[in-house]
Amino acid sequence: MTLAEYGNGEWDLAMRGLEAKTLDPYRAGWRLRVVPSLGHIPVQLFTNGVVDRAVSAWIADECSRSTVKNSLAVLVRVMEQAVRDGIVDHNPARVVGWQQQYKHAEDELDDPRSLALPDWDALDKLAVALVARSAGGFEGWADVVRFEACTATRIGEVSGVRAGDINREQWTWEVCRQTTPGPGGLTDKGTKGKRRRTVPIIEEIRPMVARRLDGADPDPMARLFTGPRGGRISTAVLRDATHWDDVVLRLGYEHLRRHDLRHTGLTWMADAGVPLHVLRVIAGHGSLATTQRYLHPSRRSIDLAGAALSAHLNGGTVNFPLAPAGPKVVPKPPPIRHLCIVR
């Protein structure tokens, strides 16, 4: 019996003793998150790892802390009833540590720049190291990592890109789908927020993209990126196949996750001077406030600000051409003065 079948059948027994005001958010969590994420799994096959991944997905979808708490609480009660019925020996929904994971997600929203790689050399070094640790030295992992960072997209969107989504004349990518975990395994669906957007493909990765397009199936729906056996990829597949955690720890980026490659690309674009409204479209953000978090001053710009103040106090001048690229306020032109002849 699947979780959805068991929970719906034993709902009243599992929820006994709860007040009506508590049942309403529990029902919402069960219907909107627990069943879509876990309802297809047989009750006897549940593990702590399965629940961990579901909670991580809810946090990644930017569900509020109370939403995650209520969704997990209703799952705990249903699985507790399964324990009493003798279906499972223990309650696998009693997971710990998700609060810390949620705090990390909140920190990420507050300062995503702090999670980004510093430059292209760091990205290239990471890509090479991941390939070296993978089975058979699969070069495709390096292509995935470089493509995700340089397009500032999500790993699910990289997995979902098809050959027909790439415009080789204008070198753009029409982002319109993503590959995410779902009932029965990985599934394709629309992008987050159902927003289609166009993303530029920079010169540094065009040869790699062209090579993949030339070697892909003529079908425009052929996937541009697949695993070593031709399967669909996900953040978990990339992590396990490349020993991601060990590699980033050895390189000194122990905080780095796969999603931080997206933060890397958006940070680079902001520092390169991409206007805020354009950066928002490329990122696919629903709120302008989210995009503005990438415009925090970099360390170099802070150093230059100090140098500018020192030069001002000492009566000197600042070499402004050395100022870092980034969004700037366009100065207003001086007023036009007309000369008149007075006799």
pLDDT digits over 7-60, tens only?
Answer: 999 999 999 988 888 898 999 999 988 999 899 999 999 998 889 888 887 876
Instruction: Please report, rounded to a whole number, the percentage of residues in the chain having pLDDT higher than 90.
Output: 48
pLDDT digits over 95-123, tens only?
Answer: 877 777 666 655 555 677 778 899 999 99
Angle between the N-to-C axes of helices 244-251 and 120-133, in degrees from 0 to 180, rounded to the nearest 10 = 140
Question: Residue 89 pLDDT more than 70?
Answer: yes
The string of DSSP letters for 135-149 reads TT--THHHHHHHHHH
Amino acid present at 267: T
Contact (CB, 8 A) for 318 and 308: yes
pLDDT digits over 132-144, tens only?
Answer: 999 999 999 999 9
Contact (CB, 8 A) for 108 and 62: no
Chain centre to alpha carbon of residue 72 = 22
- pLDDT, mean over the chain: 84
* pLDDT of amino acid 293: 77
pTM of the model: 0.62
What is the rounded CA–CA span in Å between residue 215 and residue 238?
22
Reading the block at residue 201, the tokens are 């493909």
Beta bridge partners of 186: 181
pLDDT digits over 202-222, tens only?
Answer: 999 999 999 999 988 888 999
| Burial tier of 289 (Cβ tally within 10 Å: 0-12, 13-18, 19+) | exposed
- The residue with greater pLDDT, 183 or 222, is 222
pLDDT digits over 251-308, tens only?
Answer: 999 888 898 899 899 999 988 888 888 888 898 887 777 787 777 655 556 666 777 7
Question: Residue 334 pLDDT more than 90?
Answer: no
Rg from Cα positions in the chain: 25
User: Coil, helix or strand for 222?
Assistant: coil
